[in-house]
Amino acid sequence: MKFKKKYPQKYESLFLFTNKVVMIRFRIICRKNITIMACIFCKIASGEIPAKKLFEDDKLVAFYDIQPQSPVHFLIIPKHHFASLNDLSADHVHLAGHILVTASNLARETGIDQSGYRVVFNTREDGGQSVDHLHAHILGKRKFLWPPG
Ligand code: AMP
């Protein structure tokens, strides 16, 4: 083989190992990009599909839920794709705070701040998450039960 002639034997296994690591990383990046390309909330964030938006800045978008569960029901999503709350770390403290302050501001703007509202981050299967892009539900203008169903 050409490779064996060009390089001493001892480099062969190192070359094969490096090659394998590069291929595994490439596959992980491809899988992540396919997930993001198919994500409906990423498409709303980029403007590729329409939504009834209440607020947008460089980090977040807020828009009304397409199947409202209360008279006021909107979602706040980060523009960056996080599959769920599980993907947040200490690096994202500012973003997490920004989501909550935006929820508070929009609750005031939509007139639910005084009567009250609920903020929900459904997370993974048991949490009832159906869209795998981190989002906060803000629901108001009706009474909610506790404990939740
Ligand atoms: P969850 O079940 O917590 O993941 O919430 C996902 C929410 O996204 C549901 O309440 C859906 O009604 C809502 N939803 C899904 N697609 C859209 C869309 N295109 N525009 C607005 N809301 C959506």
Nearest atom of ligand 1 to the alpha carbon of 49 = 19
**122 C-beta closer than 6 A to ligand 1:** yes
Supply φ then ψ for residue 126, to 5 degrees: -65, -25
**123 C-beta closer than 6 A to ligand 1:** no
pLDDT digits (tens, 9 = 90+) for 64-76: 999 999 999 999 9
For the segment 74-96, the average pLDDT, to the nearest whole number, is 98
Extract long-range pairs of 103-111: CB within 8 Å, 24+ residues apart: 103/76, 103/136, 103/138, 105/55, 106/54, 106/55, 106/62, 106/74, 106/76, 106/138, 107/138, 107/140, 109/54, 110/54, 110/72, 110/74, 110/140, 111/72
pLDDT digits (tens, 9 = 90+) for 94-122: 999 999 999 999 999 999 999 999 999 99
Q: Are 19 and 26 in contact (CB under 8 A)?
A: no
Beta pairing partners, 55: 62
